[in-house]
Structure formats: structure tokens, C-alpha cells
Amino acid sequence: MAGDKNTLVSIGTPMEDDHIDLTRGADPMLADNYHTAGDAHVPDLRFPPAHARRDMEVMRRCVLSRMSEGLSRRKIEVIEKVLTLEDSLVKAYKRMVTDLEVVEDEKTREISHLKNKNSSLRKFCGTSEARVKEREDEIDNLRFALVRAQHYAVESYKASSEYQHDLYAYGAECMSTSISLTKEWIAAEHLGVNPHGFDRFLARRQDLEQAAEQGQAAEQDGAYDQADAPLQDEDGASQLD
């Protein structure tokens, strides 16, 4: 049992000498600390009697009771702290769950945004790759054209009407030069031959060249045949004789 400091603790017997004053606060093992109602004179130095041992047990129980009360109060304080901490942990857990939900939502939105961006980038890269391939094909074609440019230019020039005109003009110039040189040679080497018939021959050749430029192949062939015939004067005699 536990009580106040001035409380008398009963051992459980109805005798008057069973009441012990526990307010002395001294060592319970000393004999002079035990005073009964009937004998309160000289201290007894012998071994404590049985009721003294019972008093010691009661006192031990008192101390244990007080210690239990102290421990109970400490336990209550600890429980209160635990409950307070538990409330704090619950609130912190709720905040953490809320923050986690917010983070999950942000993560979901970010993933969706990244997927859309990735899709757009893939489309852009695909378009860019197609354009690059097209440009590479154009560059390859240009390189091939540059390699064949000279040959192609020559072939194109030969196939054009300009080439035919230039060829005929060059041929006419060469022929005129050849005729002039021939006339000079005849005049120098063959004094009896009249070289003026070459002028009519040259005029006739010019007419034939104009006919050839107009695409008259038959007349051109006839003109060449006439050009190959011996020159004759107005009387029908050859001027080269």
C-alpha cells in the first residue's frame, strides 16, 4: 500500500503494537527505530522480531508502490509523447502522401509531354532525313552531270543546228581558201589556162551550200555532181584545157 508521509501503514493484525511509525526515515534494520505503543523505552539490540520483518516487507511494498506510481507517471508521459509523435507522424504521412500524389501527377504530365515531344522530333527527323536523302540524290545527279558535262556538251553541240551551220561555214571558208590558192597556183604554173572559171565555180558552190543549209539534200548532191564536172565556157569548151 502507498500513502502520504504521515500515514500509518497497517500490517494486517489488530494488535496495538503492530502499528509502526514510518515517518522517522531512518534505517529500518536498527532496533531503536521500532517503537510499539506498549514498549517505548530502551532500544532492543537483538535480531528484529517477525513483526519487524513484516514491517520491512510493508515498507518495501510501499517503496515499490511509490516507484510504480513514478513509473506509471513516467509511462503516461512517455505514452503521451508517443501519441503526440504518432499524431505528428500521421500528419507528416498525410502530407507525404499528398506531396507524392502531386509528384506523381507532375511525373505523368511530364512523361506525356516528353512522349509528344519525342513523337514530334521523330516526325521532324523523318522529314529531315527524307529531305537530306532528296538533296543527296540531287547532289549525286549534279556530280554525274558534271562528269559527263564535257561529253554531253560536245554531243549536244553536234546534234544542234548551230553545229551544222558552223560546219558548213567552216567548210565553205576552207573551200574558198582552197579555190583562191588553186587559182593563184594555176595562174603561176599554167599561164595558158584561164583561172576565172573558178569564180563561177565558187559562186556555184555558195549556192549549193545555201541549198544544203535549207535541208535540200537532193539539190546538194546534184550541186556536188555539177561541181565535180569540168568547167566550160559559154561555147561549151573546157576552160581548164
Dist. CA 171–CA 157, nearest whole Å: 17
Q: What is the pLDDT of residue 197?
A: 66
Q: What is the pLDDT of residue 14?
A: 40
Residue 88 CA: distances (Å) to CA of 34, 47, 80, 204, 221: 54, 59, 12, 125, 120
Task: Return the C-alpha cell found at 77.
Answer: 508521459
Dist. CA 118–CA 112, nearest whole Å: 10
92 within domain boundaries: no
Name the DSSP class of 215.
Answer: T
pLDDT in tens, the chain (241 residues): 444 444 444 434 444 444 444 444 444 444 444 444 444 444 454 555 566 667 677 777 776 676 666 666 777 777 777 778 878 888 888 899 999 999 999 999 999 888 888 888 888 877 777 888 888 888 988 888 888 887 878 888 888 888 888 888 888 888 878 878 887 887 777 777 666 666 676 667 777 777 767 765 555 455 555 555 444 444 444 444 4
Classify residue 35 as left (phi > 0), alpha (psi -120 to 50) or beta.
beta
Name the DSSP class of 20.
Answer: B
Q: What is the span of the domain harbouring residue 179?
A: 161-228
200 within domain boundaries: yes
Q: What is the pLDDT of residue 71?
A: 66
176 within domain boundaries: yes
Q: What is the pLDDT of residue 70?
A: 64
48 within domain boundaries: no
192 within domain boundaries: yes
Classify residue 215 as left (phi > 0), alpha (psi -120 to 50) or beta.
left
H helices present in 190-236, as ranges: 197-213, 217-228
Q: What is the pLDDT of residue 182?
A: 81
14 within domain boundaries: no
184 within domain boundaries: yes
Q: What is the pLDDT of residue 78?
A: 75
pTM: 0.28
Q: Which amino acid does the sequence have at 206?
A: Q
Q: What is the pLDDT of residue 204?
A: 75
91 within domain boundaries: no
Nearest to 211 by CA among 225, 228, 223: 223
Dist. CA 153–CA 168, nearest whole Å: 20
Residue 13 CA: distances (Å) to CA of 18, 19, 54: 7, 9, 11
Domain count, the chain: 1
